[in-house]
Amino acid sequence: MGNESSPVLVWLRADLRLADHPAFQWALRMGGPVIPVFVWAPEEEAPWQPGAASRWWLHHSLAALAASLTERGSRLILRRGPTLQALRALVKETGAKAVVWNRRYEPAVIARDTRIKEALKSDGLAVESFNASLLCEPWTVRKKDGGPFQVFTPYWKACLELLNPGPAPGSSAPSAFTSPRAWPKSEPIEALELLPKIPWDAGMAASWKPGEAGALVQARRFVEHAVLAYGDDRNRPDHEGTSRLSPYLHFGEISPGRVWQKAHEAATKAGVAPPVFRSWQFLAELGWREFAYHLLYHFPETPERPLRRDFENFPWRRNPVGLKAWQRGRTGVPLVDAGMRQLWATGWMHNRVRMVVGSFLVKNLLISWQEGAQWFWDTLVDADLASNTLGWQWVGGCGADAAPYFRIFNPVSQGQKFDPNGDYVRRWIPELSRVPAEYIHAPDEAPADLLARAGVTLGREYPQPIVEHRAARMAALEAFAGRGKG
């Protein structure tokens, strides 16, 4: 690239780690100074700018990455957008001859990145981008007719064929970086104003350790204690049976390839044969994440519009009272309320419970999936446009490979099946802590004297159900049968 001693700008985005980082590896191979930069420009991602919980995580992830870089003789340069203006300013200040980054796949970001790449190339800079966040990029997996997949099972089979025998080992974190003669100025992280002005984040701080080190600790916990039983325990919100890696994957603090490798190491140690390992449900969960990005890339309108066009005119209800009760965990349905309170307190919710609370919103309350997607977007620390869209269109019956609309989760029986002793409900709804397991998921069916002994009066300590499931199910099926008519 000409003068190999010229600095390289590494533009960081959803790849806040040092190991298994193609953009850093490319920059280091050039032999000159490496200048890591993060540009805060949320308006360029409209209408899906990072929500409040995501901003909290981002603040702490950037702080963790900055500390890791400092330990290696480097720095993290923080700037405000517009991004192109910020990058051009840094090129001028540092004499950089190249700008590199790892790709993202959200529609607004793709359009922005394309403009930036063209502009920087026109300035005479070397520009490179890499895959650092997916096992299979969206355009690499196609049906035999060349079109995109809309059904998961054949999609994942095609991915596994591409991944045979598995992802290549990623690079380790660099031990040191070459610094420029003079570092450009950086905004203090506080200037980005990512943290809430009202301190509602204590529960998230107690639940999570954002950053690459936290990701590795969580991955190690999962593969050592839960991955072998994942197929059995993944649906139990009362167990620590899931990986809880979704926010770390979203912010790129660990790559899916690294997660795959760690799971493979655990399988090998346990004597699991390769064909059995490749059929593991946990790998399929990585596959669903890949499938979500495949759909978002090929159907970029889906965050706002249903993939199945016959749902465009579905007769959703305006129900602000019901929506607020759902958001605050005050529906009178314990499993739903426990999930929504877990979300509010920690920024995360167990996946089985996500399906139940989603079904309750769109099929018991007939409130649109877009309302649910927006609430999750603001409150989840793993708010990921691809996965959030896939999940809500799945539960709403209007997306690719979606649950049929007539599959309506009964939140009471779901609780009885997957939280049989009520431990999950009691954790998040302490006012029900003394209700016996027999009635914990349906306190409205308990005898009044039993509730009195448990210290519960429905409508006072805990609400009556805001909807009756059987009647709500019939109303949902009638709405489905008449969608788009009249």
Rounded CA-CA distance 39/113 in Å is: 13
- Of the residues 128, 187, 285, 461, only one is catalytic, namely 285
In the numeric block, the tokens 């340069």 are attached to: 77
Active site (annotated) includes residue 208: no
* Inter-residue contact 148 to 142 (CB < 8 Å): yes
C-alpha to C-alpha distances, 20 to 34, 108, 138, 253, 289, nearest whole angstrom = 16, 26, 20, 10, 19
- Of the residues 45, 128, 187, 288, only one is catalytic, namely 288
Q: Which of 20, 58, 19, 18 is nearest to 39 (CA)?
A: 58
Active site (annotated) includes residue 101: no
Active site (annotated) includes residue 200: no
- Of the residues 26, 280, 316, 428, only one is catalytic, namely 316
Active site (annotated) includes residue 45: no
- Of the residues 26, 392, 394, 428, only one is catalytic, namely 392
- Of the residues 260, 348, 369, 375, only one is catalytic, namely 369
* Residues whose CB falls within 8 Å of the CB of residue 53, separated by 6 or more in sequence, listed in order: 204, 347, 378, 379, 380, 381, 383
Active site (annotated) includes residue 48: no
In the numeric block, the tokens 């977007």 are attached to: 377
Cα 376 to its chain centre, rounded Å, is 10
* Inter-residue contact 392 to 376 (CB < 8 Å): yes
Active site (annotated) includes residue 421: no
Q: What is the longest distance spanned by two Cα atoms in the chain?
A: 83
Rounded CA-CA distance 465/445 in Å is: 11
Burial (CB count <10 Å: 0-12, 13-18, 19+), residue 96: buried
SS3 of 186-203: CCCHHHHCCCCCCCCCHH
Rounded CA-CA distance 244/208 in Å is: 10
20: left (phi over 0), alpha (psi -120 to 50) or beta: left
* Inter-residue contact 444 to 337 (CB < 8 Å): no
For residue 448, the SS3 value is helix
Residues annotated as part of the active site: 285, 288, 316, 351, 369, 392
